[in-house]
Amino acid sequence: MFEDLADLFEQSAADGTPIREIFGADPVEFVEAFVQNYSVGRWIGRERERFTSAIERAASEDTRKEDRTV
């Protein structure tokens, strides 16, 4: 992944491509899309989903506990 990113920068520099043409208006969006093309990116995506689901379940449990005490 890092080698591909370095190649992208090297080729862009050789072509005289401005950095904004590489990254676009939102550099974070570029990086997230770039990472998704690699297995590590998919792993991170799955872990984010697991984490979000765990927080939602925990928040739901807290709400049910509060309802029982009222």
* pLDDT 10s digits, 10-63: 999 999 999 899 999 999 999 888 888 887 667 777 888 898 899 998 888 766
| pLDDT of res. 69 | 58
The domain of 28 spans 2-69
| pLDDT of res. 68 | 62
Q: How far is CA 29 from the centre of its chain?
A: 8
| pLDDT of res. 41 | 62
| pLDDT of res. 46 | 83
DSSP 4-49: HHHHHHHHHHHHT--HHHHH-S-HHHHHHHHHHTSHHHHHHHHHHH
For residues 2 and 24, what is the distance between their CA atoms, to the nearest angstrom? 19
Q: How many structural domains compose the chain?
A: 1
| pLDDT of res. 26 | 92
